[in-house]
Amino acid sequence: MEQRILGRTGLNASLMGLGGGGHSRLGMAKDKSESEIIRIIHSALDAGVNFIDTAEAYGTEPVVGKGIAAWPRDQLILSTKKSPGRGLNEDEIRHSVERSLGNLGTDYIDIYHLHGVPPKEYSSIVEQAYPVLEVLQQEGKIRFIGITERFERDTGHRMLEQALDDDLFDVVMVGLNLLNQSARRSILKRTQQMNVGVLIMFAVRSALSDPARLKEVMALLKAENQVADLPEEGALDFLVADAGADSIPDAAYRFCKHEEGVHVVLSGTSNIDHLADNIRSLDREPLPEATLHRLHEMFGEVDSVSGS
Ligand SMILES: NC(=O)c1ccc[n+]([C@@H]2O[C@H](COP(=O)([O-])OP(=O)(O)OC[C@H]3O[C@@H](n4cnc5c(N)ncnc54)[C@H](OP(=O)(O)O)[C@@H]3O)[C@@H](O)[C@H]2O)c1
């Protein structure tokens, strides 16, 4: 598994980050047993994944803690998050951090994020939470402070633009996929200049793993006049038919891997076979230049859907 330096954190992160949230929550959202979930975690670790993302809101911290219990802590990068809606005063933040530490069975969190921050609430959330996070960082409970956007509603990255203006965060988590490539313009250019670590979410999500959802998203884009000339049905079939991708998810993960400025591509799954496929995809060569060009032509101006 390829490793990349996560910007100014200097952490050596695996290109794939195992995602503990999304619609699958490692299988918790799909009634998988704890042992099946732990098999997914072990399988990722055995393949060289050293980055695991979870959050207090996902409910997956405890199973991640069990899955990594026998793994050397210094070979892991653990990323978890505080939901602003669960309280932001000093006691509440401390309580969340202590609970996450207990759930994960560790005494430090590598990256602690403010989770899903809406653009309008950015200033007040950061004003309340950031000074407390800095103290926790000085105490050694958190190594780096990150922030994640609410991509489903903030599809044009308005919150992260503010965060980059302030330059308080060592790591950002941003939505990017071949349907909404807008992060390239607004976020990835700046993170590269600022050497901020970049985690990609929504590489596949629903629209790129479920043909029925893709059709709905295409209809939406056509109605908004964002992709006027494209068919609703089968718009991405060429990725497999002509471009040599094994599947649309295969193309989608490779699309993100080869985007400049990307450090970690998060992959969420409840299915151990999908995990193996996704590891293989992230090991593969870029999509052909002509395919990338076609995808840029098709969706390069879109910034109104998340692909969820
Ligand atoms: N604001 C935030 O902070 C935020 C928001 C969203 C996500 N995240 C983080 O980002 C991670 C990634 O997002 P995500 O989980 O939505 O991940 P994703 O990798 O974009 O998409 C995962 C979805 O695609 C399906 N899938 C995965 N591999 C597949 C394959 N090879 N073939 C067919 N379907 C496949 C999964 O279903 P199966 O279970 O069937 O594989 C799952 O429903 C999350 O887990 C979470 O850690 C953070």
Question: What number is the average pLDDT over the span 49-66?
Answer: 98
| pLDDT of res. 265 | 98
Q: What is the mean predicted confidence (pLDDT) over 58-79?
A: 98
Q: Out of 204, 265, 271, 277, give the residue to mutate to test ligand 1, the one with the largest number of ligand atoms within 8 Å of its CB.
A: 204
Q: Which atom of ligand 1 is nearest to the CA of 54?
A: 47
Element (H, E) at 94: helix 90-104
Percentages helix, strand, coil for the chain (3-state, rounded to 5) are 45, 15, 40
Q: Output the average pLDDT for the chain.
A: 97
- pLDDT tens digit sequence for 129-157: 999 999 999 999 999 999 999 999 999 99
Are residues 11 and 5 in contact, defined by beta-carbon separation less than 8 angstroms? yes
Give me the mean pLDDT over the 96-109 stretch.
Answer: 98
Ligand 1 lined by 277 (C-beta under 6 Å): yes
- Tell me the CA–centroid distance for residue 138 and ligand 1, in Å: 33
Q: What is the pLDDT of residues 205-252, one digit of tens each?
A: 999 999 999 999 999 999 988 887 888 889 999 999 988 999 999 999
User: What domains sit in the chain, N to C, each tagged with a CATH number?
Assistant: 3-299 (3.20.20.100)
What is the pTM for the complete model shown? 0.98
Instruction: Tell me the torsion sign for CA atoms 79, 84, 89, 95.
Output: negative
Is the C-beta atom of 117 inside 6 A of ligand 1?
no
* pLDDT in the model for residue 226: 84
116 lines ligand 1 (CB under 6 A): yes
Let me know: does 121 contact 154? Beta carbons within 8 Å.
Answer: no
Verify whether residue 58 is a known catalytic residue: yes
Measured distance CA(57)–CA(67) in Å, rounded: 18
